[in-house]
Homo-oligomer: A and B are copies of this chain.
Amino acid sequence: MAASQADRVEQAAGALLRVEGIRFTPARRLVARALAGAAGPQAAGELHATLRGLLPLSSLYRTLAVLERARVLAKEHDAAGVARYELAESLLGHHHHLVCVACGEVRDVGIDPPTESTIARLVEAVARRAGYRATGHRIDIEGTCVSCRTA
């Protein structure tokens, strides 16, 4: 159930922070758990609303920065340039994003391992030919989500 996923994430986040000698405070627990329950990367404003004033925006940003430094979460930017945060792949697993071009929703999507490794192999070959040493890749699949299509 949902609670145990949040529990697992909380435990893993605590371990990552301890390794760096950083305290696992209530604010950090709160943010880690909130992200554990999200279907995709969250903007600071969204998290702030979710947490309903439990954390001032500046503290939230600082919390996010700490968690990012400890590799608990990863920061990226959506099409509007707004920062979005989600659990690091070491906690969430490798995945990609479905981006609705109509409403801007960003949702996580997993790719089955055989397909994923096929893609990884192709991508690495492209990078090598261009003189890059590939360390990873990000794929955003643009399209329209169900609600935007039926609306």
Q: Give me the interface of A with B, judged by CB distance under 8 Å.
A: 76-79, 81-83, 96, 98, 100-101, 107, 109, 111, 115, 118-119, 122-123, 125-127, 130-146, 149
CB distance from A77 to the nearest CB of B (A): 4
The distance in angstroms between the C-alpha atoms of A145 and B134, with both chains bound, is: 9
B130 pairs with A137, CB closer than 8 A: no
A138 pairs with B142, CB closer than 8 A: yes
Chain B residues with Cβ under 8 A from A145's Cβ?
131-132
The distance in angstroms between the C-alpha atoms of A126 and B95, with both chains bound, is: 11
B126 pairs with A115, CB closer than 8 A: yes
Q: A98-B127, A137-B139 are in contact. Are A144 and B122 (CB under 8 A)?
A: no
Q: A101-B135, A149-B133 are in contact. Are A127 and B143 (CB under 8 A)?
A: yes
The distance in angstroms between the C-alpha atoms of A136 and B98, with both chains bound, is: 10
The distance in angstroms between the C-alpha atoms of A78 and B77, with both chains bound, is: 8
Chain B residues with Cβ under 8 A from A119's Cβ?
119, 122
In the complex, residue of chain B having the shortest beta-carbon distance to the beta carbon of A144 = B133
Chain B residues with Cβ under 8 A from A82's Cβ?
81
B141 pairs with A132, CB closer than 8 A: yes
CB distance from A7 to the nearest CB of B (A): 26
Partner of A126, one of B123, B132, B141, B144: B141
Partner of A122, one of B77, B115, B134, B149: B115
